[in-house]
A and B are shown apart, each in its own frame.
Chain A
Amino acid sequence: MIWTRATRIRILGRMNVHTYDTKDIIYALATAWGTAPIAVIRISGQGCVEALKPLFSRPEALGASASHTVLHGDLIDPKYKNPIDEVLVTVFRDGRGYTGEESVEISCHGSIPGIESIFAQLKDVGMRPASPGEFTFRAFMHGRMDLTRAEAVMEIVSSQSRLSHSLALGRLEGNLFSLIEEIKQQVLQVVSMVELQLDYAEDEIADDVAFPFEALEEAKRRIDALLSTYEMGKLYGEGARVVLAGATNAGKSTLFNLLLREERSIVSEVHGTTRDFIESKTVLDGIPVRLYDTAGLRESSDAIEMEGIRRTRKLLSEADLILLMLDGTEHDDTSVSQYRHLLEDPRCILVWNKTDLTTKPPAKGSYPLSAKRGEGFATLRDEMVRRLTKETDRPDGQALVIESSRQRDELKHASDALVRAVALAREELPMDIVAVELAEALHALGSLTGEVASDDILERIFSRFCVGK
């Protein structure tokens, strides 16, 4: 087999296979896809400045530009010499760009047809659209970032709320890396002490060296503290699923619209208005939420409606939080019991709607609401947040929180190994046995920052990339 200068690299993800060719010049939109005043297109790869010259109104200036300079000009269609867009081009010479390669950023106007025609031109000069995560992949490959930072980029790109965005930014700034580095140093000190003992005979160094239990337990505490942020990190990162369920005509769609602050779902006095579920995204106190309005639960012979009810059941099984809505005018404490199986579910909140129509007392433990007037809505919202965060405090934007399951697994691994090391040392097993567990903990911490390389790390990380960053 002959090696060409171009290196084709394929990451075998569990599900998807990306083929990355590090020789190619790649491009992608770095800003959100949609209409906006300004959009930024990022181009990376050796020779990309040269390749862009025929598309730029000032090719000589572009070719001669130093790193980190900004040029003003037009992007042109080389066939007809007509300008496509007025742009600013920022040049990063070899080794200086985000990816560590020669790269260019084009700030253009943010209209979708405009961007698409620029893409068409870029393709014509031999560039290709980036695969998911390819920019970060290149940056990692060129040593521009360690793994915790690479993961943070992916989390920033996919973050769905401002809070999760700023948490990921903290990781990008290397906070996570430095914390783990600190913990690792702590463990390393113990390891060196233990290994030093392994190198001397008992007549040279006596056994009277005290085992540093305290240092190991401290390291474990710090790891565990970080671990405990995972649920939080996941909540703010990946978000939660909230499902509105209940009898027909209870006012689910009305509450749905209220939570979204828009008329998204059809509201009517007809029972069974919502036939299939409707999904929409919103943010609840920093938590990205996927909200589902569902078909009301009732006996029905209508095939479509039955399918809708079946889907509702499926959604319920996957929900993080269920709002069971009942029409307060039709129910009392005893009739509520038909929903027993849902009410016993810890994820369920009972919402007692249409309080404006009745003076009957709401069922025990329910949240009274008038979805039409908004009375009781604030209390309900607070309860939803409380339930989702499991009553822990909302992290501030500066807190260090992990949200990747890979990081959680490595931390767990490290913590378990330290527990075993401490237990073995307490049983007074010899140091060479204890050292195995310490090595295991160090390995896990090293894998976390990517300083220990192994074949499965890359696979786990780069299989969930998205385009652009």
Chain B
Amino acid sequence: MDYDAIVIGAGHAGIEASLALSRLGFSTLLITQNLDAIGRLSCNPAIGGLAKGNLVREVDALGGEMGHLIDASMIQFRILNRRRGPAVQAPRAQADKFTYHRMAKETLEAQGKLALFQDTVVDILLGEDNSKIIGVSTERGHRITATVVVLTTGTFMEGKIFIGEYEARSGRLGESAAIGLGTALRQKGFTVGRLKTGTPARVRKSSLDFSAMVEQPGDPVMMPFSFDYQTIDRPSLQCHITWTNAETHRIIRENIHRSPLYGGKIVGKGPRYCPSIEDKVVRFPERERHQIFVEPEGVGTEEMYLNGMSSSLPEDVQVAFIRSIRGLEHAQIMRPAYAVEYDYLDPLQLYPSLESKHVKNLFIAGQTNGTSGYEEAACQGLVAGINAARKLAGEPPLILDRSESYTGVLIDDLVTKGTKEPYRMFTSRAEYRLNMRHDSADQRLTPKAHAVGLQPDEAMARLQEKLSRIEMVKDLLEKRKVEGRKAIELLRKPEIGIADLMESVPELASFEEPVCYQAELDVKYAGYVKRQERQVDRFSRMERIRIPEDFDYDALDGLSAESREKFKAVRPLSVGQAGRISGVRTSDLAILMVLLARRTDHDDEA
């Protein structure tokens, strides 16, 4: 074998996978089409957001890199929903795209045991009985072998972009698609589908009239995504808000027939929740206007991103509708909006470890699994990398469950329910979200990463230190009286935040922002979080009834034919997971449950 591991694609998934593998001591090759596009932010120049911010912090707690990359490149930081509940608060940062990419590349280059190579993978090599991967072959004719392979092709596998009547075989505008691999995988029996997504136009900063827009500043204090340090100090830029209007909508409606989507040229399914502007106009005719965020793409560039305006309409139409918007009347388009359609692999073909069920030692992560978003890609890449390494080491996989992380929810959803449209993380997907606050990701996951070998002892020590400082803050609030009441009681009132107590409890100033923030959420919501425990309990009971991987469903009398087929396709690892497969009947679960319970009894007796 040339390497222990090969990672295909240096997007957000590939970066995490290759770093995890090499950091765990395995010789790893990262092959990607273009070294200058490593860690490129294809779409939005931002990391985080609701649920996604939680994912980034989970990646960090698990020993991944995304937190460091955004901390080193952020040009604006906000905690979203500060005035709302604990589960829906999340960090989001604007990134300087160039710095983000450069930091990613530098990190990979500095990593020992990790080789980088520019080429395009066109096929995978299988071992003697076709059940196991042994390497890859590339466009330029290299055959490279490895024991495990992680596939993270993003939007590039048989990618095709559309701008009105124009189409090209690209994965991003100006970057050629990876041709051949999708076809090769289809031939090898993988279920391959098409998905689509889109990105808005980039316009020139100096051509915009910001005085006609609403300013959107960042938070005064930046908080790091990473748990490795407590403070961060970077310059903060403004974003702006403007709105579409009746004229914008009229232009779009009159030209809708020129969209490749409406003309039927695009077959892939797009994301419902992140629709193109033409979709929004058609689907919500009663809405008078839609919000547009104008965001800088970086510090050393004039390109501005029009968040909320993705489109695949022809460029002349784009010019017209963009210029109908306040503040954008003279906008110069530097890059047009476009849609991209690409191959994805049905994630039902994966185990929760992200290993393929058909081909052993092949792990798949990121957009290739039907997700969309950098954060979604990164957390999968990390888990795939960890589990590929554990496979190499002969260790059982790391599987995170739905009650402990968004990462666990995401992977469980993918491998249990599959997806027919680009899957994006949402708060509402996580049932036990109160337990999964972004600020507690280290408590939840760092010990696991430490056990796996991706977090050093110092990370555990830092975690202990942070927890003890949070306790110190709580003690302080407990002891101190403000206007005759304990400070801690005041903080429980909805309208009072910890910042309001700074004056009366000046010692608070000596604690770092993340410590105060977390103490505040703990105090405010401790009583309510308890109520969720019973739900978590019920969940865990069902997860604990394990089903062996090779369980013979055909031998199980009484199952309905539909459920039997579904069980065989998904191969759930627990009765809990079996219950989440869509369309499985309770009675079939009941059969499984009593049977497995009996089996456990039986084993106990034996």
Interface residues of A (CB under 8 A from B): 1, 3-12, 22-23, 46, 138, 140-143, 146-147, 195-196, 198-204, 207, 424, 427-433, 436-437, 439-440, 443, 450-455, 458
Contact = CB atoms under 8 A, between A and B. Distances in A.
A455 B557 contact: no
A10 B601 contact: yes
Contacts of B433: 198, 432
Interface size class on chain B is 35 or more
A202 B88 CA distance: 10
Interface SS, B side: helix
Given A143-B587, A453-B579, A458-B594, A3 B552 contact: yes
Given A7-B591, A432-B433, A202 B84 contact: yes
Contacts of A4: 555
A138 B525 CA distance: 46
A204 B274 CA distance: 13
Interface stretch (B107-115, B322-330, B424-432): B424-432
Given A5-B557, A8-B598, A453 B528 contact: no
A195 B593 CA distance: 30
Contacts of A453: 542, 575, 579, 586, 589-590, 593
A194 to B, nearest CB: 9
Contacts of B85: 429-433
A208 to B, nearest CB: 13
B494 A454 contact: no
Q: Which 7 A-B pairs have the closest CB atoms?
A: A430-B85, A432-B85, A432-B87, A195-B428, A201-B80, A453-B589, A198-B427
Nearest to A12: B597
Contacts of A8: 598
A436 B87 CA distance: 11
28 contacts: A1-B599, A4-B555, A6-B557, A7-B557, A7-B558, A22-B557, A141-B587, A143-B585, A143-B588, A195-B427, A198-B87, A201-B81, A204-B291, A430-B84, A432-B88, A432-B427, A433-B434, A436-B535, A450-B587, A452-B586, A453-B575, A454-B538, A455-B541, A455-B542, A455-B545, A455-B597, A458-B593, A458-B594
Contact of A437 (B49, B531, B558): B531
A399 B85 CA distance: 43
Interface of B: 49-51, 80-81, 83-88, 216, 241, 273, 291, 426-428, 431, 433-434, 494, 525, 528, 531-532, 534-535, 538, 541-542, 545, 552, 555-558, 560, 575, 579, 585-591, 593-595, 597-599, 601-603
B86 A3 contact: no
Given A3-B552, A202-B84, A453-B590, A23 B427 contact: no
A436 B532 contact: yes
A140 B49 CA distance: 45
Contact of A140 (B535, B538, B590): B590
Contacts of A140: 587, 590
A5 B291 CA distance: 61
Contacts of B84: 202, 207, 430-432
Nearest to B588: A143
A143 B556 CA distance: 15
B576 to A, nearest CB: 9
B595 A9 contact: yes
B274 to A, nearest CB: 11
B74 to A, nearest CB: 17
Given A432-B88, A453-B542, 20 more contacts: A1-B599, A1-B603, A4-B555, A5-B555, A8-B598, A142-B560, A143-B560, A143-B585, A143-B587, A147-B586, A200-B50, A429-B494, A430-B88, A431-B85, A432-B427, A432-B433, A436-B528, A453-B589, A454-B542, A458-B590
Nearest to B83: A202
A259 B599 CA distance: 53
A433 B427 CA distance: 13
A203 B593 contact: no
A443 B594 contact: no
A138 B559 CA distance: 11
B591 to A, nearest CB: 5
Contacts of A427: 494
Contact of A196 (B83, B428, B557, B599): B428
B538 A7 contact: no
A9 B596 CA distance: 9
A448 B80 CA distance: 38
B556 A455 contact: no
Nearest to A424: B528
Contact of A201 (B50, B535, B575, B585): B50
A22 B558 contact: yes
Contacts of A201: 49-50, 80-81
B587 A433 contact: no
Given A199-B427, A455-B541, A432 B591 contact: no
